[in-house]
Structure 1
Amino acid sequence: MADRPSVLFVCVHNAGRSQMAAAWLHHLSGGAVEVRSAGSAPGDAINPVAVEAMREVGIDIAAERPKILTPEAVQASDVVVTMGCGDTCPFFPGTRYEDWVLDDPAGQGIGMVRGVRDEIRTRVLALLDELGVPAVAPSH
């Protein structure tokens, strides 16, 4: 890993889980980690309930847009965290892969999405610890 580790979060639509994870990692690392997110079949827009759930904890993802997963993004990442994209994620030797099994917030109410948001936060804190990067904003 370089001086600044890089992490790519991947889900199918890049509209909920991967966007929340990227926002948490950026927020909690204070920019000490290069963060990317992408989708194997990107949606048209970010899930508005995910936007609302993140806004509740002081993180604004409203301006984010779903992005297509590229082999270059995977290759440029030290860690690739998949969230339900299955076999569509390209594999490169030497890249660390993790699969986070999380419920899909698409079409769900705020209560369910809050639970996914909080689970992602817990997992991001554990990932920061594994990367040896201190969390700079652990509150919320």
Structure 2
Amino acid sequence: MSDKPTVLFVCVHNAGRSQMAAGWLGHMGGDRIEVRSAGSAPAEQVNPVAVTAMREVGIDITAERPKVLTAGAVEASDVVITMGCGDACPIFPGKRYEDWKLDDPAGQDIEAVRRIRDEIKDRVGKLIADLLPA
């Protein structure tokens, strides 16, 4: 791992979970961690309910766009966190992989998306503590 760890969040559509996780990591980790996100089958746009849920906590992800997952993005990352993309994620030796089991916010109401958002925040906090020892 370089001086500045790189984290890649991956979900199927790169429209909900991975975008919220990237938003949290950018917000909580500042410029100490490089943040990326991608999807194995990217959607047309970020889930508007996820955008609303993040805006409620002061994090603006409106400018984000779903991006396609590439082998290069995985190779250039120190930590790859998958969220239900299954076998679509390429595996490279020496990378740290985690699979976060999270509900998909697609088609869910704001209450459900808030719960997912808050669970992601907790996991991101633990990830930061692990990547950036005090």
Q: Is TM-score (shorter-chain normalized) higher than 0.5? A: yes
Identity of counterpart residues, as a percentage? 70
- 2:95 paired with 1:95: yes
Match of 2:36 in 1: 36
Aligned letter for 1:59? I
Q: What is residue 19 of structure 2 aligned with on the other side?
A: 19
Deviations 1:47-80 (A, max 9, x none): 0000000000000001100000000000000000
Q: Which residue of 2 aligns with 1:109?
A: 109
Question: Letter of the aligned partner of 1:26 in structure 2?
Answer: G
Q: CA deviation at 1:5?
A: 0.3
Task: Please provide the CA RMSD for this pair.
Answer: 0.8
Q: How many residues align?
A: 134
Task: Point out 4+ residue stretches in structure 1 off by more than 4 angstroms.
Answer: none
- Post-superposition shift, 1:133? 5.3
Separation in structure 1 between the aligned mates of residue 92 and residue 54 of structure 2, nearest angstrom: 32
Q: Deviations over 1:15-72 (max 9, x none)?
A: 0000000010010011110000000000000000000000000000011000000000
Which residue does the alignment assign to 2:59? Answer: 59
**1:64-101 deviations in whole A, cap 9, x for unaligned?**
00000000000000000000000000000000000000
> What's the secondary structure of 1:31's corresponding residue?
helix
The match for 1:83 is 83
Structure 2: where are the runs of 5+ without partners?
Answer: none
User: Are the equivalent residues in 2 in contact too, given 1:38–1:69 (CA < 8 A)?
Assistant: yes
**TM-score normalised by structure 2 residue count:** 0.98
Q: Check the 8 A contact 1:32/1:133 in 2, yes or no.
A: no
1:111 is paired with a residue of what secondary structure? helix
In the alignment, the residues of structure 2 paired with residue 130 and residue 46 of structure 1 have an alpha-carbon distance, to the nearest angstrom, of: 28
With normalisation by structure 1, the TM-score equals 0.94
The letter for the 2-side match of 1:126 is K
Give yes or no for contact 1:29–1:133 (8 Å, CA) kept in 2.
no
- AA at the equivalent of 1:5: P
SS at match of 1:7: strand
For 2:81, the aligned partner's letter is V
The answer as to whether partners of 1:11 and 1:39 remain within 8 angstroms in 2 is yes
Question: Is the Cα contact below 8 Å between 1:54 and 1:117 reproduced in 2?
Answer: yes
| Structure 1 spans left out of the alignment, 5+ residues | 135-140
Distance 2:9 2:31 in 1: 16
